[in-house]
């Protein structure tokens, strides 16, 4: 039997003291209502109602059961309303996973403006370069920078594109040979991002002369992007950084964009989440907010990049 349905019907009958009025409210026949109440009493092995030709009345057990039904059905209605509302109005804690560099440049400012619009949403921002399993349920979504999305079980919304730029500190460039083309890097100490030491690193760029590749021996390999940026700012060599990780240093003059005519590797930035069906309002509104926020940030990044390139050429 459908116990919840029977409880709701019993509640209507008991509150109105009438099978007929309950049947009318529920768009059922009086006989169907009577049968369901009988089945409920059989299930409970307890008489809930006294029936006469003139009236019905609750038994002592029926009074106690009705009070429980009121409490259970009210709590159930509240839970159902709360579950439905998360798809309408953003509320609760939004759990986001992202890398340190993406968070610092894009996400933290986006969180500030998002919470100004939706103050009822709290944000838990977990920063790590390790991959995350969104299907495990620990996070609502993740922001990743990748060349290709490989996990078809996730929904990916493209937010924008970031590409790597060659850079070095002003102090380093003051005391080392000029870099006018990719081959000139052989005269410099290369700092590269790598999990372990590598004897040789290939750099490929697309420029006015077509695609060009050089093989270099690095002077320093670092497994952390933030440490790589720090090494470059300390004047330890030249190296590639994603634009979003370098743009603040360009703006402040801590790094200089070199070889601006060369286009190096690029990555797309995605918002990832597990499903589009019944998407939580806080995830939906956050992803929509990120689209606009990333577009604005990317535009500002380009302005900084062009300005620093112009300064270098001058």
pLDDT in tens, 80-133: 766 776 667 788 899 999 988 888 888 999 999 999 999 999 999 999 878 888
Write down the pLDDT at residue 308: 57
Coil, strand or helix at 234: coil
Q: How far is CA 42 from CA 3, 47, 53, 245, 304, in A?
A: 12, 8, 21, 70, 77
Topology annotation, domain 3-85:
Arc Repressor Mutant, subunit A (1.10.10)
Going by C-alpha positions, the residue among 13, 274, 277, 252 that lies closest to residue 136 is 274
Write down the pLDDT at residue 314: 29
CATH placement of domain 97-159+267-302: 3.40.190.10
How far is the C-alpha of 3 from the C-alpha of 151, rounded, in Å?
Answer: 42
Pairing verdict, β 56-58 and 49-51: antiparallel
CATH placement of domain 163-266: 3.40.190.290
Half-sphere exposure of 36 (CA within 13 A, CB side): 23
Write down the pLDDT at residue 85: 62
What residue segments make up the domains of the chain, in order of their start? Answer: 3-85, 97-159+267-302, 163-266
CB environment 253-272: b (16+ within 10 A), e (fewer): ebbbbbbbebebeebbbbbb
Note whether 216 and 203 are within 8 A (CB): yes
Write down the pLDDT at residue 61: 93
How far is the C-alpha of 270 from the C-alpha of 33, rounded, in Å?
Answer: 54
Residues constituting the chain: 314
Going by C-alpha positions, the residue among 56, 60, 61 that lies closest to residue 22 is 56
Whole-prediction pTM:
0.65
Contacts of residue 247, defined as CB under 8 A and 6 or more positions apart, other chains included, come to 105, 301, 304, 305
Write down the pLDDT at residue 88: 74
Write down the pLDDT at residue 169: 95
Q: How far is CA 45 from CA 41, 48, 58, 59, in A?
A: 6, 9, 15, 13
Going by C-alpha positions, the residue among 67, 1, 72 that lies closest to residue 39 is 1
Note whether 162 and 265 are within 8 A (CB): no
In this prediction, the residues of the chain whose per-residue pLDDT falls under 70 are 1, 53, 81-82, 85-87, 151-152, 208-209, 276-278, 308-314
Write down the pLDDT at residue 108: 92
Tell me whether the CATH fold assigned to 97-159+267-302 matches the one assigned to 163-266: yes
Q: Where are the beta strands (DSSP E) in the chain?
A: 49-51, 56-58, 92-98, 121-127, 141-146, 155-168, 190-193, 201-207, 210-216, 218-222, 239-242, 256-258, 266-273
Secondary structure element (H or E) that encloses residue 108, with its range: helix 108-117
Write down the pLDDT at residue 82: 65
How far is the C-alpha of 1 from the C-alpha of 40, rounded, in Å?
Answer: 8
Coil, strand or helix at 41: helix
């Amino acid at each position: 039997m459908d116990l919840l349905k029977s409880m709701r019907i019993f509640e209507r009958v008991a509150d109105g003291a009438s099978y007929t009025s309950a049947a009318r409210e529920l768009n059922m026949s009086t006989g169907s209502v009577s049968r369901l109440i009988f089945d409920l009493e059989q299930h409970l092995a307890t008489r809930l109602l006294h029936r006469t030709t003139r009236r019905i009345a609750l038994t002592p057990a029926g009074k106690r059961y009705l009070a429980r039904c009121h409490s259970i059905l009210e709590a159930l209605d509240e839970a159902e309303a709360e579950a439905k509302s998360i798809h309408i109005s953003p509320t609760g804690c939004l759990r986001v996973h992202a890398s340190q560099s993406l968070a610092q440049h894009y996400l933290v400012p986006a969180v500030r403006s998002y919470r100004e619009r939706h103050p009822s949403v709290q944000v838990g921002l977990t920063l790590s370069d390790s991959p995350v399993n969104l299907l495990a349920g620990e996070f609502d979504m993740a922001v990743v920078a990748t060349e290709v999305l490989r996990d078809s079980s996730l929904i990916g919304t493209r937010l924008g594109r970031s590409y790597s730029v060659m850079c070095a500190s002003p102090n380093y460039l003051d005391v080392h040979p000029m870099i006018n083309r990719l081959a000139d890097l052989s005269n410099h100490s290369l700092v590269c991002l790598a999990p372990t030491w590598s004897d040789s690193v290939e750099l490929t760029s697309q420029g006015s002369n077509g695609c060009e590749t050089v093989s270099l021996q690095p002077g320093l390999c670092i497994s952390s992007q933030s440490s790589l940026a720090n090494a470059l700012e300390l004047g330890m060599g030249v190296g590639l950084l994603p634009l979003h990780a370098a743009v603040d240093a360009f703006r402040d003059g801590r790094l200089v964009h070199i070889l601006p005519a060369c286009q190096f590797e690029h990555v797309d930035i995605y918002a990832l989440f597990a499903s589009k069906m019944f998407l939580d309002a806080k995830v939906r509104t956050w992803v929509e907010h990120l689209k606009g926020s990333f577009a604005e940030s990317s535009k500002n990044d380009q302005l900084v990049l062009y300005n620093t390139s112009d300064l270098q050429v001058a």
